[in-house]
Amino acid sequence: MSDSISTLKAKGLPAEALAFIESLPADQAEQLAASVLAALQTKDARVEKAMNNALNVVPGPFRRPVKKMLFG
């Protein structure tokens, strides 16, 4: 199993989607898994950036507790 597929599995990609990826020839499976993983990272970064923008409007002293309250 490739690194990308293992990572997706660890992150909880549903079994049906994993099965589809693994049904492909090895090189294609790796390419598709890498694309899904890249999308996940891009979206993570985008949401993180938007959240930081949101937190920036909270007065400094409250930022940390608000962040904890909102995002755990």
Partner 1 sequence: MHIETRAELLKLSRLLESDEGSLDFLDGQDLDQLARFRNTVSSFLYAQHQDSYQRLAGISKLVPTGASAKLATTVLGSVLAAGIASELPADRAIKLADKLPDDFLAKLCIHLEPSQSRSLLAAMPDKIVARVAQTLLTMGEHITLARFVAVIQPSALQAITATVNDGEAMVMIALYLEDKSKLDTLLGLLSEAQQRATLQAATDQALWPAVLSLNEHLNTELRGRMGNMVAEQGETVLNHILDVAREQSLWTNLLQAVHAMDNQHQQAVVNLAKLKEAAVMESLVSTVASEGSWDEFLTLIPLLDQAHLTPALDVLVEHQPAALANALEHAHDSHLLGFFGHLPDSDIARMAQAIQGHAASQWQAFAERNSDAHEIEALRNL
Length of the chain: 72
Token pair belonging to 58: 């909270």
Query: Smallest distance from the beta carbon of 43 to partner 1, in angstroms?
Result: 6
CA 5 to chain centre: 13
Closest residue by Cα to residue 21 from 13, 10, 36, 32: 32
Sign of the dihedral defined by the CA atoms of residues 42, 9, 12, 25, in that order: positive
Q: Which of 3, 6, 50, 64 binds partner 1 (CB under 8 A)?
A: 50
What part of residues 8-47 is at the interface with partner 1 (CB under 8 A)? 11-14, 16-17, 20, 24, 28, 31-32, 35-36, 38-40, 42-44, 46-47
Can you give the binding site for partner 1, defined by CB under 8 A?
11-14, 16-17, 20, 24, 28, 31-32, 35-36, 38-40, 42-44, 46-47, 50-51, 53-54, 56-57, 69-72
